[in-house]
Amino acid sequence: MLFQSSLRLIRLLALLISLTIINAFPVTTQLASRASSCADVNGTFVINEQGLYPENANFDAASCQLYLSVVYNASVAVYDPYLGNMTVIEFANITRNPEFHIDGAVASPYTSTIFILANAAAAFTTQGQDVSGTNMLLQLDPVSRNEISRVNLTETTQGAYGGFQDLEFDMRGNVYVLGTFPGSIVRVEPEANNGTGVNVVEWWKVDTPTTTNGMAGLATFRNSNVLLANDNAGTTNSSLVKFDMTQAKGTPVPIPISNNRTIAGSDAMRLPVKYNGTVLLVAVDVAGIEVLRSKDGTWDNAEGLGLVSNNVSAAMGGSVTNTVEIGNRILMVEEFFADGPNGGNRTQFPFVDITDEVDRLVIVDPSFVDRSRLEKEQRSIFKGF
């Protein structure tokens, strides 16, 4: 109980600190918004949990909880980064069924529910040779932790393409599901048929063999209609493309990247809330995080700002599959593919804080005031509270 109330105090202090900083230091627009009222974590942390293998991680700012897709067990772990405890959620006929992996567990800001992607494992273990298996989109109530709905995407794809591994949302309640073998996006439209049913639409698909590794990540920003994706197959003219989510069918528009940067061969990507949709962080598995910027947030063009290296001891030799934003901190999500196609007995999974490295690349303005240092100063002021 004592811990709970001190947690509340930490959150309150974080809110006070953020309000104070916004009022006192109106720096650039990129820094003006705080990611959420959830408290920060104190840098890099490690989750000790056998077989966690988090293929992806998403922070739910509504509940201040971290959702991890436990890929090989095909379950979802909810981790409280402040208390350090975890609850594993299992799904009937999916969890511990070797036919399934779970590759995404993402909170929708529009529905306040969690969407989970249970995909046919064989698509990945055969690198696109066998894409015939079932892919399911599940919806979870984050409060009761009960499953709300389950949609079989394979009724639409008919097993002709697969490797589904990422999710995004638009403000009309649609869910975009990205497939890798080959590049595809399926749109799940829950408001279809006058609210009487769910439509699953093949929104975009590239016309290449299923063994072409097409796309691996999607990113959107709240209340925007721009959907970003990586083109790893070189079918467009850039490694980064954008789609217009107001359209009935998707059309990829290549985004030129300046400064001779590329995100070819990348995994998942994120537009952190703290940069208000103007900075894209792209995981390039072994190398690290490519940092791109569109100052006006339109993503007609991308400025390549540079790479944050994953070659750090804190990563424990993992491959970075995405970043995750907790409060105002940004951490790398590490996966251990070398442990085998079904993982192994690993018990330690690091989340590596790269907030300061990203800030250094983004903030080229010499008048920039280091927010993390400011927040530390504010914290010491608030100690006497």
Stretch that binds ligand NAG, among 78-86, 106-114, 119-127, 179-187 (CB under 6 A): 78-86
Contact range with ligand NAG by CB under 6 A, out of 75-83, 170-178, 264-272, 368-376: 75-83
* Minimum distance of ligand NAG from residue 252's CB (angstroms): 6
Tokens encoding 278: 């103007």
The closest alpha carbon to 183, from 156, 165, 159, 201, belongs to 165
Q: Please, how many CA atoms are within 13 Å of residue 110, restricted to the half-sphere of its CB? A: 15
Question: Binding of ligand NAG at residue 134 (CB under 6 A)?
Answer: yes
83 near ligand NAG, judged by CB under 6 A: yes
Segment lying near ligand NAG (by CB under 6 A), choices 25-33, 101-109, 184-192, 197-205: 25-33
| 2 touching ligand NAG, by CB under 6 A | no
Minimum Å gap between C-beta 370 and ligand NAG is 18
Query: Is residue 43 within the footprint of ligand NAG (CB under 6 A)?
Result: no
Q: Is 155 in the site for ligand NAG (CB under 6 A)?
A: yes
Q: How many Cα atoms are found within 13 Å in the side-chain-facing hemisphere of 78?
A: 19
Rounded to whole angstroms, the Cα distance separating 374 from 167 reads: 35
Contact letters for ligand NAG, residues 216-245 (x by CB under 6 A)? --------------------xx--------
With CB under 6 A as the contact rule, the residue among 32, 198, 264, 316 that binds ligand NAG is 32
Query: Per CB under 6 A, which region of 77-85, 106-114, 165-173, 199-207 contacts ligand NAG?
Result: 77-85
The secondary structure element, H or E, covering residue 51 is none
State yes or no: residue 44 binds ligand NAG (CB under 6 A).
no
The answer to whether residue 367 forms part of the interface with ligand NAG (CB under 6 A) is no
Strands (E), 221-380: 226-230, 240-244, 253-254, 269-270, 279-284, 288-293, 303-309, 319-326, 329-335, 348-353
Among 1, 2, 24, 92, binds ligand NAG (CB under 6 A): 92
The secondary structure of 344-368, three-state, reads CCCCEEEEEECHHHHHHHHCCCCCC
Q: Please, which contacts does 71-79 make with residues 24 or more away whose CB atoms are closer than 8 Å? A: 71/101, 71/102, 71/103, 71/335, 71/343, 72/101, 72/342, 72/343, 73/102, 74/100, 74/101, 74/102, 74/118, 74/121, 75/102, 76/102, 76/105, 76/114, 76/116, 76/140, 77/49, 77/52, 78/145, 79/47
Site for ligand NAG in 100-129 (CB under 6 A): none
Kind plus residue range of the DSSP H or E element containing 164? strand 162-169
> What is the number of other CB atoms lying within 10 angstroms of the CB of residue 139?
19
Smallest gap from Cβ 131 to ligand NAG, in A, equals 12
Binding region for ligand NAG (CB under 6 A) out of 71-79, 120-128, 163-171, 329-337: 71-79
By CB under 6 A, what part of segment 310-349 binds ligand NAG? 311, 340, 344-345
Residues near ligand NAG, by CB under 6 A: 29, 32-33, 41-42, 49-52, 70, 73, 75, 77-78, 80, 82-83, 85-88, 92-93, 134, 152, 154-155, 194, 236-237, 254, 260, 276-277, 297, 311, 340, 344-345
